[in-house]
Amino acid sequence: MPNNSIKLLAPDVHRGLAELVSKRLGTHLTSSKLERDPTGEVTFSIGESVRGQDIFIITQIGAGDVNDRVLELLIMINASKTASAKRITAVIPNFPYARQDRKDKSRAPITAKLMADMLTTAGCDHVITMELHASQIQGFFDVPLDNLYAEPSVVRYIRENVNFNDAIIISPDAGGAKRAATLADRLDLNFALIHKERARANEVSRMVLVGDVRDKVCIIVDDMADTCGTLAKAADVLLENKARSVIAIVTHGILSGNAIKNINNSKLDRVVCTNTVPFESKMKLCPKLDVIDISGVLAESIRRLHNGESISYLFKHYPL
Amino acid sequence: MGDIVVFGGSSHPELVNMICENLGVPSSRVDLSKFSNGETNVQIGESVREKDVYLIQSGCGHVNDNFMELLIMISACKSASASRITAVMPYFCYSRQPDIPFTSKGAPLITKANKNSNIEGDILSPAPSALMTQRPGSMSPFKVADEEVRTSTNQTLKKSVSASRIPIVSSKKDPKGTEANEAFNAQNAGYKLWVAQSGTLIANLLTAAGADHVITMDLHDPQFPGFFNIPVDNLYCRPLVQNYIQHHIPDYKDAVIVSPDAGGAKRATAIADSLELSFALIHKERRSQLLKGPPDATLTSGGGLNVSTTPLISNLNSTEITNSPSKYIQTTMLVGDVRNKVCIIVDDLVDTSYTVTRAAKLLKDQGASKVYAIVTHGIFSGDALARIAQSEIDQFVISNTVPQDETISALGKDKVGIMDVSRVIGEAIRRIHNGESISMLFEHGW
């Protein structure tokens, strides 16, 4: 066996993305076994030697049992570390606790920083994420973190699946304006913004549209869709302003709580998410959902990382 | 008790209240909830600046959620400028890894019988024929075992065996990925795999989150504090156990302390010595071959210990494990005399309850008049409580490091005794806060 080859590990649930990546890399997932004992504690064992190998642990963290997935990931990293792996890279497309990245109230925890510390403590040497909620989270880590962008995949999806000649890119809030603007530039489209006016905290906010959407196909772009309440409201506002139709493209479709109900009841034509989050089961409940496969980007970044090549090409281009 | 702040996690609020009552300090407000996507949300409700903070969270219930909650609480206090943060974990999760893999039902994976057999029946009532006591002049138990294995392989397959810490993966039929599972088994059967050792990891995570001190109780491995770079105070339940025996067990002076496995012998002898009681040991053995000859001297015992001089060996459940590459025989033997005596099984942890119920069965078969079980941490996973309810145990004594409401409702009030650890933990917190020695708690309890 050649030394220092790529070994892909994945937990026993949500292996879909890991399998897609392994297929693209022309390799297979390393056999491993994750056992939960009746108390809920996790035991992990790797089925073959990983001494001196380059380990990539691919995990999809969605809504629900986030903490279980996190602990499993940490235990997998630690098991690889103690088995003398040469380098361990955690591939976490949807970084958990990314939204708790600041002390916004007194004595609030900065859980994203805690996650970073925990990953490094477990023995992680490198982290690959996708579309971090705040790119400053990279600074929380003592190890290199490669933050990939879904934008090339989104551009490709829009070119292939949306009649984009009379489309317009919409940012659902001021924070996402930059993301929407760069996407609009890439596609040479116009751009509009929905501004949430919040008179007072905990009050129903009023949404104001900035820009002209008359007779246009509106593409709402955001990095994360959780309960989808904002998306549904944004669609209402756009249609009130005489938009022809509205679709939403989000990177991380967490779709928790009433998300499916909200989407089904909303005026959105389609909600497109990447497969950073496992939501195959939800696609059956909601015909409006569509998926963008980002396994190509992950596979290519893993290959480039392993060979010591530059990754920045992937920020702008979709790999072949 | 000036600048002390105590927060309780969501795992065991009752114990938190009891500890706070003992300390005379109200537990401080902390809002624990979950975001809609499953992430844990912690909001510390009081200022902790330059305070001595104690966070109480037991490793029970949904372990991973509770552990993450503790880590986030530690981190929140750290970034809110607490002067010292002490994690109080009455039961320390992940403290006994790696161990036998378990099925979702709570049985060791290795014993998983084929699907058609009535697993529960086998577990709850081992076939009487499998239980043998050697009497003078009788046939060697090993010979019987040998014959039994030869004649009825099918039946022996069904019997429960518990193996030591080698995670052999059984040939259980997993609904998903059966093929992969079997390939995995064929590849790795019998080997010590590349198994995760979570001990150091858990220790490092606590330190990374910002804990300065850890208080726990009756750690499964005495080596565990060595994984930490911060002080770990491991409190003992032993004084409480002794106290319970002296006050609640009639005629305890004639009782025998029994350790259900060799690993707990030290714990049991310490109690037996300080109460001046006799001691017996149940030993599980895995032999790589079937023994043909009569048991030799290594299998008898009694010398040196405060037991009767007649060697008494019993052999329970001789079973062949056929799914491992080489043939193993499992024997359980009792070392020591328990006839017509009150037996007190002492252990640190009961989870699947296989060990303790089997020990009770063996003791009753050896003529024990009454069997008590005193265990520090009662996790009771799977159908452990049902198994205990049907077992030979007359009274089950357990501490409240883990909530025990379910135990009481399942076994009935008369059959359960609860040891309260809140006073010991409360006193430890008080002493640590005041910078006093806590070693007195090891000997006398509170």
pLDDT at B22: 92
Task: Find the CB nearest A39 among B44, B169, B351.
Answer: B351
Report the pLDDT value the prediction gives residue B373, as an integer from 0 to 100.
94
| Nearest chain A Cα distance for residue B215, angstroms | 20
Residues in B closer than 8 angstroms to A100, CB to CB, are 39
Beta strands in B143-296 (DSSP E): 194-195, 213-217, 232-235, 256-259, 278-287
Under DSSP, the state recorded for B392 is: S
Phi first, then psi, for residue B229 (nearest 5°) are -100, 5
Cα gap A139→A113, rounded to integer Å:
9
Task: Establish, for the pair of chains A and B, how many residue pairs have beta carbons separated by less than 8 Å.
Answer: 179
The pLDDT value recorded for residue A198 is 61
Pick the CATH number of B4-97+196-236+425-444 from 3.40.50.2300, 3.40.50.2020, 3.40.50.1970, 3.90.1150.10: 3.40.50.2020
Surface-to-core class of residue B325, CB atoms within 10 Å of its CB (0-12 exposed, 13-18 middle, 19+ buried): exposed
Say yes or no for a CB contact (<8 Å) between A108 and B43: yes
Whether the predicted pLDDT of B329 surpasses 80: no
Predicted confidence at residue A43, as pLDDT, reads 87
pLDDT of residue A145: 93
What pLDDT score does B161 carry?
Answer: 38
**Mean pLDDT on B320-339:** 63
Residue B218 has pLDDT above 70, yes or no: yes
Can you tell me the distance from the alpha carbon of A45 to that of A225, in angstroms, rounded to the nearest whole number?
34
* pLDDT tens sequence across B234-260: 999 999 999 999 999 988 989 999 999
- What residues of A are in contact with residue B80 (Cβ under 8 Å)? 106-107
Tokens of A286: 């909601």
Question: To the nearest whole angstrom, how far is the Cα of A188 from the nearest Cα of chain B?
Answer: 35
Complex ipTM value: 0.72
Residues of A in Cβ contact (< 8 Å) with B171: none
Residue B140 has pLDDT above 60, yes or no: no
Residue B220 has pLDDT above 90, yes or no: no
Scanning every residue of chain A, which has its alpha carbon at the shortest distance from the alpha carbon of B64?
A68
The pLDDT assigned to A54 comes to 94
Contact between A122 and B205 using a beta-carbon 8 Å cutoff: yes
In A, minimum Cα distance to B350 occurs at A39
Distance from CA of B418 to the nearest CA of A (A): 21
Q: Which of A64, A78, A105 sits opposite B196 (nearest CB)?
A: A78
Residues of A with CB below 8 A from B48's CB? 107
What pLDDT was estimated at residue A37?
A: 80
A282 vs chain B: nearest CA distance in angstroms?
14
A74/B73 CB distance under 8 A: no
Identify the residue whose tokens are 């080698």.
B166
Could you tell me which residues are beta bridge partners of residue A103?
none
- CATH number given to B238-288+327-419: 3.40.50.2020
Contact A40 B101 (CB under 8 A): no
Q: Spell out which residues of chain B touch residue A67, defining contact as CB-CB under 8 Å.
A: 38-40, 64-65, 67-69
pLDDT tops 50 at residue B147: no
Q: CB distance B208–A118 less than 8 Å?
A: yes
CB contact under 8 A, A82 and B75: no
Residue A100 neighbours by CB distance under 10 Å: 24
For residue B101, the chain A residues in CB contact (below 8 A) are 33, 35, 37, 43
Q: What is the DSSP string of B41-66?
A: EEEE-S--TT-EEEEE--S-SSHHHH
End-to-end CA distance of chain B: 19
Say if pTM beats, i.e. exceeds, 0.90: no
Residue with tokens 């904002």: A230
In order of B299, B331, B363, B366, the CA distances from B131 in angstroms are 17, 11, 11, 10
Q: Give pLDDT, residue B325.
A: 43
**pLDDT at residue number B320:** 41
Q: Residue A56: in which H helix or E strand, if any? A: strand A54-58
Asked if the Cβ–Cβ distance from A83 to B209 is below 8 Å, we say: no
Sorted by where each starts, the structural domains of chain A and their CATH numbers stand as 6-148 (3.40.50.2020), 151-292 (3.40.50.2020)
Least confident piece of the model among A67-76, A227-236, B298-307, B336-345: B298-307
- List CB contacts (< 8 A) between B94 and chain A: 41
Positive or negative, the CA dihedral B10, B13, B19, B20 is positive
Q: Please report residues of A whose CB lies closer than 8 A to that of B201.
A: 74-75, 78, 121-122
* Cβ contact A39–B196 (<8 Å): no
Q: Write the pLDDT tens digit of every residue in B22-51.
A: 999 999 999 999 988 889 999 999 999 999
Residue B124 vs residue A68, higher pLDDT: A68
Taking chain A (320 residues) in consecutive chunks of 10 residues, what is each chunk's mean pLDDT?
80 90 93 85 89 93 88 93 93 92 85 93 94 87 92 92 88 86 89 76 69 92 89 91 94 90 92 90 89 93 92 84
Measured CA to CA, the distance from residue B284 to residue B163 in angstroms comes to 8
Cβ contact (<8 Å) for A45 and B195?
yes
> B40-44 and B30-34 as β-strands: parallel, antiparallel, unpaired?
antiparallel
Coil, helix or strand at residue B317: strand
Per-residue pLDDT at A230: 87
Contact check, Cβ <8 Å, A39/B184: no
Residue A35 phi, psi dihedral angles, 5° rounding: -115, 140
The answer to whether B65 contacts A67, with C-beta atoms less than 8 Å apart, is yes
Highest mean pLDDT among B136-145, B176-185, B283-292, B401-410: B401-410
Q: Do A37 and B200 touch (CB under 8 A)?
A: no
Tell me which residue in A47, A75, A110 faces B193 most closely, judged by beta carbons. Answer: A47
Q: Which pLDDT score is estimated for B355?
A: 87
Residues from chain A that touch B196, judged by Cβ atoms under 8 A, are: 42-45, 75-76, 78-79, 82
Q: In this structure, are residues B397 and B419 in contact, taking their beta carbons and an 8 Å threshold?
A: yes
Q: Which of B11, B33, B37 is best to mutate for the A interface (most A CBs within 10 A)?
A: B37
Could you tell me how many residues make up chain A?
320
CATH 3.40.50.2020 domain locations along chain B: 4-97+196-236+425-444, 238-288+327-419
Interface test with A, best of B39, B74, B94 (most A CBs within 10 A): B39
Residue of B194, B197, B350 to mutate for A, most A C-beta atoms under 10 A:
B194
8 Å CB contact of A122 and B37 = no
DSSP readout, B350-361?
Answer: ESS-HHHHHHHH
Provide mean pLDDT across the span B352-367: 90
- Answer yes or no: do A45 and B382 touch at CB < 8 A: no
Partner-chain contact B381 A31, CB within 8 Å: no
| B135 contacts: CB under 8 Å, gap ≥ 6 | none
Both tokens of residue A167?
């489309």
Task: Return the higher-pLDDT residue of B265 and B343.
Answer: B343
Task: Please judge whether A47 and B38 are an interchain contact, meaning their C-beta atoms are less than 8 angstroms apart.
Answer: no
Residue B94, CB half-sphere, CA atoms under 13 Å: how many?
27
pLDDT of residue B136: 41
**CB nearest to A37's CB, from B69, B102, B209:** B102
Chain B residues in contact with A40 (beta carbon < 8 A): 62-64
Q: Provide mean pLDDT across the span B368-390.
A: 91
Alpha-carbon gap, residue A162 to B394, rounded angstroms: 73
| CA-based nearest distance B58→chain A, Å | 13
